[in-house]
Amino acid sequence: MNVLKDFQTGANRYAEQDGFTYGDNPEYKINQRFLATILGLIAVLLPTILAIAASVSDLCFYRSISHFYYARFWGDVVVAAFAIIGTFLIAYRGQSRSENRLATGAGLAAFGLALFPASGSGCLMSEFKGRMFADMQFDQGALASIGLPDSLLAPFDMMPWSGVLHYLFAAILFGFLAWYSFFVFTRLSTDYRKKHGETLTREKRIRNRIYIASGSTILVSAGMLLAQWGFPTVFEPGPANWLLSHWTFIFECIALFAFGSAWLTKGRFADRMLLDESEEKELRQRGAS
Protein backbone atom coordinates (compact mmCIF):
# COMPACT_ATOMS: atom_id res chain seq x y z
CA MET A 1 0.00 0.00 0.00
CA ASN A 2 1.38 3.38 -1.04
CA VAL A 3 0.68 5.71 1.87
CA LEU A 4 1.34 8.77 -0.28
CA LYS A 5 -1.79 7.95 -2.31
CA ASP A 6 -3.85 8.96 0.71
CA PHE A 7 -2.56 12.53 0.38
CA GLN A 8 -4.55 13.73 -2.61
CA THR A 9 -4.57 17.27 -4.01
CA GLY A 10 -6.22 16.96 -7.44
CA ALA A 11 -9.62 18.23 -8.52
CA ASN A 12 -11.21 14.83 -7.86
CA ARG A 13 -9.52 14.31 -4.49
CA TYR A 14 -11.23 12.17 -1.86
CA ALA A 15 -14.22 11.52 -4.10
CA GLU A 16 -17.00 9.35 -2.73
CA GLN A 17 -15.81 5.79 -3.24
CA ASP A 18 -18.14 3.18 -4.70
CA GLY A 19 -18.45 0.15 -2.46
CA PHE A 20 -17.10 1.96 0.58
CA THR A 21 -19.01 0.81 3.67
CA TYR A 22 -22.25 2.77 4.01
CA GLY A 23 -20.77 5.59 1.94
CA ASP A 24 -24.03 6.17 0.05
CA ASN A 25 -26.31 5.64 3.06
CA PRO A 26 -28.04 8.90 4.14
CA GLU A 27 -28.31 7.69 7.74
CA TYR A 28 -24.58 7.03 7.79
CA LYS A 29 -23.80 10.52 6.49
CA ILE A 30 -26.00 12.10 9.16
CA ASN A 31 -24.23 10.09 11.87
CA GLN A 32 -20.83 11.12 10.50
CA ARG A 33 -21.87 14.77 10.72
CA PHE A 34 -22.88 14.17 14.34
CA LEU A 35 -19.41 12.74 15.07
CA ALA A 36 -17.80 15.76 13.41
CA THR A 37 -19.92 18.12 15.51
CA ILE A 38 -18.92 16.40 18.76
CA LEU A 39 -15.25 16.54 17.75
CA GLY A 40 -15.53 20.25 17.05
CA LEU A 41 -17.26 20.95 20.36
CA ILE A 42 -14.60 19.11 22.37
CA ALA A 43 -11.80 20.96 20.59
CA VAL A 44 -13.40 24.34 21.33
CA LEU A 45 -14.51 23.60 24.89
CA LEU A 46 -11.29 22.02 26.21
CA PRO A 47 -9.08 25.15 26.20
CA THR A 48 -12.02 27.34 27.20
CA ILE A 49 -12.82 25.27 30.29
CA LEU A 50 -9.15 25.02 31.31
CA ALA A 51 -8.66 28.78 31.01
CA ILE A 52 -11.77 29.50 33.09
CA ALA A 53 -10.79 26.94 35.73
CA ALA A 54 -7.30 28.42 36.07
CA SER A 55 -8.67 31.97 36.24
CA VAL A 56 -11.28 31.46 38.97
CA SER A 57 -9.46 29.02 41.28
CA ASP A 58 -6.06 28.47 42.86
CA LEU A 59 -5.17 26.17 39.97
CA CYS A 60 -1.87 27.04 38.33
CA PHE A 61 -2.32 28.57 34.88
CA TYR A 62 0.03 26.18 33.12
CA ARG A 63 2.18 27.28 30.21
CA SER A 64 0.50 24.84 27.83
CA ILE A 65 -2.70 22.83 27.57
CA SER A 66 -0.63 19.65 27.74
CA HIS A 67 0.86 20.62 31.11
CA PHE A 68 -2.62 20.67 32.66
CA TYR A 69 -1.99 16.91 32.73
CA TYR A 70 -0.28 17.55 36.08
CA ALA A 71 -3.25 19.40 37.59
CA ARG A 72 -5.54 17.65 40.04
CA PHE A 73 -8.80 16.60 38.39
CA TRP A 74 -8.17 18.72 35.29
CA GLY A 75 -5.40 16.38 34.23
CA ASP A 76 -8.05 13.68 33.89
CA VAL A 77 -10.14 16.05 31.79
CA VAL A 78 -7.23 16.66 29.41
CA VAL A 79 -6.47 12.95 29.02
CA ALA A 80 -10.15 12.11 28.54
CA ALA A 81 -10.59 14.87 25.95
CA PHE A 82 -7.66 13.66 23.83
CA ALA A 83 -8.81 10.05 24.20
CA ILE A 84 -12.34 10.95 23.07
CA ILE A 85 -10.97 12.96 20.15
CA GLY A 86 -8.84 9.96 19.19
CA THR A 87 -11.77 7.56 19.47
CA PHE A 88 -14.06 9.74 17.38
CA LEU A 89 -11.41 10.32 14.71
CA ILE A 90 -10.89 6.58 14.38
CA ALA A 91 -14.67 6.05 14.28
CA TYR A 92 -15.03 8.75 11.62
CA ARG A 93 -14.88 6.97 8.26
CA GLY A 94 -15.62 9.69 5.74
CA GLN A 95 -16.51 8.84 2.15
CA SER A 96 -13.44 6.91 0.99
CA ARG A 97 -10.77 4.58 2.31
CA SER A 98 -8.09 7.26 1.93
CA GLU A 99 -10.09 9.68 4.05
CA ASN A 100 -10.71 6.94 6.59
CA ARG A 101 -7.01 6.12 6.88
CA LEU A 102 -6.11 9.79 7.39
CA ALA A 103 -8.67 10.13 10.17
CA THR A 104 -7.37 6.94 11.79
CA GLY A 105 -3.81 8.28 11.69
CA ALA A 106 -4.93 11.51 13.36
CA GLY A 107 -6.86 9.50 15.96
CA LEU A 108 -3.82 7.41 16.86
CA ALA A 109 -1.79 10.61 17.25
CA ALA A 110 -4.45 11.96 19.63
CA PHE A 111 -4.10 8.80 21.72
CA GLY A 112 -0.35 9.39 21.75
CA LEU A 113 -0.95 12.84 23.21
CA ALA A 114 -3.10 11.32 25.94
CA LEU A 115 -0.61 8.55 26.78
CA PHE A 116 2.63 10.54 26.78
CA PRO A 117 2.50 13.79 28.78
CA ALA A 118 4.69 16.82 28.19
CA SER A 119 7.81 17.04 30.34
CA GLY A 120 8.48 19.70 32.97
CA SER A 121 6.08 21.18 35.51
CA GLY A 122 4.80 23.84 33.10
CA CYS A 123 4.02 26.14 36.04
CA LEU A 124 5.82 29.37 36.94
CA MET A 125 4.41 29.57 40.47
CA SER A 126 6.88 28.93 43.28
CA GLU A 127 4.20 27.00 45.16
CA PHE A 128 1.26 25.16 43.62
CA LYS A 129 -0.81 22.01 43.97
CA GLY A 130 -0.49 19.35 41.34
CA ARG A 131 0.71 15.90 40.41
CA MET A 132 4.18 14.53 39.89
CA PHE A 133 5.97 11.20 39.65
CA ALA A 134 7.62 10.15 42.90
CA ASP A 135 9.37 7.20 44.50
CA MET A 136 7.33 5.61 47.29
CA GLN A 137 8.16 3.00 49.89
CA PHE A 138 5.54 1.01 51.77
CA ASP A 139 5.83 -0.83 55.07
CA GLN A 140 3.18 -3.51 55.59
CA GLY A 141 0.81 -1.74 53.22
CA ALA A 142 1.28 1.71 54.74
CA LEU A 143 3.18 4.52 53.05
CA ALA A 144 6.54 4.78 54.82
CA SER A 145 8.31 7.40 52.72
CA ILE A 146 7.99 9.41 49.57
CA GLY A 147 10.66 11.26 47.63
CA LEU A 148 11.80 12.51 44.27
CA PRO A 149 12.80 9.94 41.65
CA ASP A 150 16.23 8.49 42.35
CA SER A 151 17.11 8.34 38.67
CA LEU A 152 17.77 10.47 35.62
CA LEU A 153 14.04 11.14 35.35
CA ALA A 154 12.64 14.34 36.80
CA PRO A 155 9.41 14.46 38.87
CA PHE A 156 7.57 15.58 35.73
CA ASP A 157 8.94 12.97 33.31
CA MET A 158 6.85 9.83 32.95
CA MET A 159 9.62 8.05 31.06
CA PRO A 160 12.61 8.88 28.87
CA TRP A 161 11.55 10.63 25.67
CA SER A 162 7.98 11.11 26.91
CA GLY A 163 8.12 14.84 26.17
CA VAL A 164 9.63 14.26 22.72
CA LEU A 165 6.94 11.72 21.87
CA HIS A 166 4.26 14.11 23.11
CA TYR A 167 5.36 16.90 20.78
CA LEU A 168 5.86 14.46 17.92
CA PHE A 169 2.28 13.21 18.25
CA ALA A 170 1.05 16.81 18.53
CA ALA A 171 2.80 17.69 15.26
CA ILE A 172 1.32 14.64 13.54
CA LEU A 173 -2.19 15.36 14.83
CA PHE A 174 -2.27 18.99 13.80
CA GLY A 175 -0.55 18.19 10.51
CA PHE A 176 -3.36 15.74 9.70
CA LEU A 177 -6.00 18.24 10.80
CA ALA A 178 -4.53 21.01 8.65
CA TRP A 179 -4.47 18.63 5.67
CA TYR A 180 -8.11 17.75 6.30
CA SER A 181 -9.06 21.43 6.32
CA PHE A 182 -7.16 22.26 3.13
CA PHE A 183 -7.81 19.21 0.97
CA VAL A 184 -10.35 16.75 2.39
CA PHE A 185 -13.15 19.04 3.52
CA THR A 186 -12.81 21.29 0.44
CA ARG A 187 -13.34 18.45 -2.04
CA LEU A 188 -15.99 18.87 -4.70
CA SER A 189 -18.92 16.65 -5.58
CA THR A 190 -22.13 16.97 -7.57
CA ASP A 191 -24.05 17.66 -4.35
CA TYR A 192 -22.03 20.83 -3.86
CA ARG A 193 -22.78 22.31 -7.29
CA LYS A 194 -25.77 24.23 -8.53
CA LYS A 195 -28.20 22.37 -10.73
CA HIS A 196 -27.42 24.29 -13.92
CA GLY A 197 -23.67 24.72 -14.06
CA GLU A 198 -20.37 24.23 -12.34
CA THR A 199 -20.76 27.04 -9.80
CA LEU A 200 -20.59 25.93 -6.19
CA THR A 201 -23.57 26.45 -3.94
CA ARG A 202 -23.47 29.39 -1.54
CA GLU A 203 -23.26 27.03 1.44
CA LYS A 204 -20.28 25.15 -0.02
CA ARG A 205 -18.42 28.40 -0.76
CA ILE A 206 -18.89 29.55 2.84
CA ARG A 207 -17.80 26.18 4.19
CA ASN A 208 -14.68 26.19 2.04
CA ARG A 209 -13.72 29.64 3.30
CA ILE A 210 -14.03 28.40 6.88
CA TYR A 211 -11.97 25.29 6.09
CA ILE A 212 -9.18 27.28 4.42
CA ALA A 213 -9.15 29.82 7.26
CA SER A 214 -9.01 27.00 9.81
CA GLY A 215 -6.16 25.20 8.07
CA SER A 216 -4.22 28.44 7.68
CA THR A 217 -4.73 29.27 11.35
CA ILE A 218 -3.42 25.85 12.39
CA LEU A 219 -0.28 26.36 10.30
CA VAL A 220 0.29 29.89 11.61
CA SER A 221 -0.14 28.64 15.18
CA ALA A 222 2.39 25.88 14.52
CA GLY A 223 4.78 28.50 13.18
CA MET A 224 4.39 30.59 16.32
CA LEU A 225 5.15 27.56 18.48
CA LEU A 226 8.24 26.76 16.41
CA ALA A 227 9.37 30.37 16.82
CA GLN A 228 9.32 29.87 20.57
CA TRP A 229 11.60 26.85 20.27
CA GLY A 230 13.87 28.56 17.75
CA PHE A 231 14.36 31.71 19.84
CA PRO A 232 14.21 30.56 23.48
CA THR A 233 15.88 33.72 24.82
CA VAL A 234 13.15 35.91 23.31
CA PHE A 235 10.41 33.79 24.87
CA GLU A 236 12.09 33.29 28.22
CA PRO A 237 9.29 32.72 30.75
CA GLY A 238 8.78 34.99 33.71
CA PRO A 239 5.95 36.33 35.85
CA ALA A 240 6.45 39.84 34.49
CA ASN A 241 5.31 38.89 30.99
CA TRP A 242 2.20 36.70 30.99
CA LEU A 243 1.92 36.68 27.19
CA LEU A 244 5.38 35.27 26.52
CA SER A 245 5.16 32.92 29.49
CA HIS A 246 1.94 31.40 28.13
CA TRP A 247 2.79 31.64 24.44
CA THR A 248 2.34 27.89 23.98
CA PHE A 249 -1.04 27.84 25.71
CA ILE A 250 -2.29 30.78 23.63
CA PHE A 251 -1.42 29.31 20.25
CA GLU A 252 -2.50 25.81 21.24
CA CYS A 253 -5.88 27.37 22.05
CA ILE A 254 -5.97 29.14 18.69
CA ALA A 255 -5.09 25.91 16.87
CA LEU A 256 -7.77 23.97 18.76
CA PHE A 257 -10.36 26.67 18.03
CA ALA A 258 -9.46 26.41 14.33
CA PHE A 259 -9.66 22.62 14.47
CA GLY A 260 -13.02 22.85 16.22
CA SER A 261 -14.38 25.40 13.74
CA ALA A 262 -13.52 23.17 10.78
CA TRP A 263 -15.16 20.09 12.29
CA LEU A 264 -18.22 21.99 13.52
CA THR A 265 -18.61 23.22 9.96
CA LYS A 266 -18.16 19.68 8.64
CA GLY A 267 -20.90 18.60 11.06
CA ARG A 268 -23.07 21.47 9.79
CA PHE A 269 -23.27 22.71 13.38
CA ALA A 270 -25.38 19.72 14.45
CA ASP A 271 -27.27 19.81 11.14
CA ARG A 272 -28.51 23.34 11.78
CA MET A 273 -26.39 25.51 9.47
CA LEU A 274 -24.76 25.52 6.03
CA LEU A 275 -26.61 22.43 4.82
CA ASP A 276 -26.78 21.63 1.12
CA GLU A 277 -30.13 20.94 -0.50
CA SER A 278 -29.42 17.20 -0.68
CA GLU A 279 -28.54 17.14 3.03
CA GLU A 280 -31.73 18.97 3.97
CA LYS A 281 -33.64 16.40 1.92
CA GLU A 282 -31.94 13.54 3.80
CA LEU A 283 -32.93 15.09 7.12
CA ARG A 284 -36.54 15.52 5.99
CA GLN A 285 -36.67 11.90 4.88
CA ARG A 286 -35.24 10.80 8.21
CA GLY A 287 -37.83 12.83 10.11
CA ALA A 288 -40.64 11.41 8.03
CA SER A 289 -39.56 7.80 8.53
Structural domain spans, the chain: 18-130+164-288
- Checking if the pLDDT of 103 tops 90, the result is yes
The residue with greater pLDDT, 14 or 47, is: 47
DSSP three-state, residue 145? strand
- Checking if the pLDDT of 288 tops 60, the result is no
- Checking if the pLDDT of 93 tops 60, the result is yes
The string of pLDDT tens digits covering residues 210-242 is: 999 999 999 999 999 999 888 877 777 666 688
When mean pLDDT is compared across 64-68, 125-129, 157-161, 192-196, the lowest value belongs to 192-196
The residue with greater pLDDT, 48 or 143, is: 48
Region class of 151: left (phi > 0), else alpha (psi between -120 and 50), else beta: beta
Q: What is the DSSP code (8-state) at residue 4? A: G
How far apart (Å, rounded) are the C-alpha atoms in residues 218 and 252? Answer: 9
Q: Where are the alpha helices (DSSP H) in the chain?
A: 26-56, 74-91, 97-115, 162-179, 202-230, 242-245, 247-266, 268-271, 277-288
Query: pTM higher than 0.85 for the full model?
Result: yes
The string of pLDDT tens digits covering residues 34-85 is: 999 999 999 999 999 999 999 998 899 999 999 999 999 999 999 999 999 9
